[in-house]
Amino acid sequence: MKRKIKAWLDINDDGDLTIDDLQTLVVRHEWMFVAGVLISAGSLANVLGYAEINSDWFWFFAGIAAMLEYIDDIRRRGRGKNGHS
């Protein structure tokens, strides 16, 4: 079981589970998309009167998306300087 979990989390398939694997797994564009969907769906539900969501939740999800975008951008820039893709 432990070997299966390690293989699943080993994103770059180098046989070692490193911080790079975990960072790649956590900081992905899919999570930014999820934050955007939550913001859009919540806003629409508020406008149509189906929900009364506090605007702080929208700012929370926008902040999470911004931080993930920043981390992803920095990570990609670092790879470009080292010649890795």
DSSP 15-72: S---HHHHHHHHS-HHHHHHHHHHHHHHHHHHHTTS----HHHHHHHHHHHHHHHHHH
Contact 16, 10 (CB under 8 A): yes
Contact 12, 24 (CB under 8 A): yes
Q: Percentage of the chain surpassing pLDDT 90?
A: 11
Range of the domain at 57: 2-82
75 pLDDT higher than 80: no
> How many domains is the chain built from?
1
pLDDT for 36-66, tens place per residue? 888 889 889 999 999 998 889 888 888 888 8
Eight-state DSSP code of residue 27: S
pTM: 0.53
Average pLDDT over residues 25-39: 75
Torsion on CA atoms 43, 50, 34, 68, rounded to nearest 10: 40
